[in-house]
Structure 1
Amino acid sequence: MTVNPALHFVGFRGDEFHSAVRIWGRPDFIHPDWDRWAQQDIHPTDTVIFARGTDADPLARFTYPHCG
């Protein structure tokens, strides 16, 4: 089975989003916070871009349900 790597943006909330899109392209997934939902969505072949911090940061304690 072939896995297509996805691009994830985590924690972007403003103009930095547009800057990241110029550099990396449009993300496949946008995660408001680094929480358990974001962590579970990421495959080892994916690329994850954080507005601040890294995947080593503690997960957000309170998460918001996905909209859409």
Structure 2
Amino acid sequence: MARAVHFVGFRGDEYLAARRAFGPPDFVHRIWDRRSRREVAAGDLIVFATGSHDQPYADRNGDDIRET
């Protein structure tokens, strides 16, 4: 099974830098919450826009998308 790439918390230009470094993401999570953690399988790569790899989950689950 192939490793999936997860981008967490990206909001701006840092997304392009991460995409160049790690390739296109398979999943984009607006925030690091319990729901996004459930989508991560063993061996997947998680790329955070800010913060450390062991940051706590958000208190509440975030929404998937915001349409304007």
Interval of TM-score (by shorter of Structure 1 and Structure 2): 0.7 to 0.9
* SS of equivalent to 2:46: strand
* Partner of residue 16 from structure 1, selected from 14, 17, 25: 14
CA RMSD of aligned residues (A): 1.2
The corresponding residue for 1:37 is 35
TM-score, normalization by structure 2: 0.84
Deviations 1:22-47 (A, max 9, x none): 11111000001110111100011101
Once superposed, which parts of structure 1, at least 4 consecutive aligned residues long, lie more than 4 Å away?
none
Q: Give 1:18 deviation, angstroms.
A: 0.7
> Are 1:46 and 2:44 an aligned pair?
yes
* SS of equivalent to 2:18: helix
The corresponding residue for 2:60 is 62
Structure 1 stretches lacking a partner, 5+ long: none
Structure 2 stretches lacking a partner, 5+ long: none
TM-score, normalization by structure 1: 0.84
Moved more, 36-45 or 47-56: 47-56
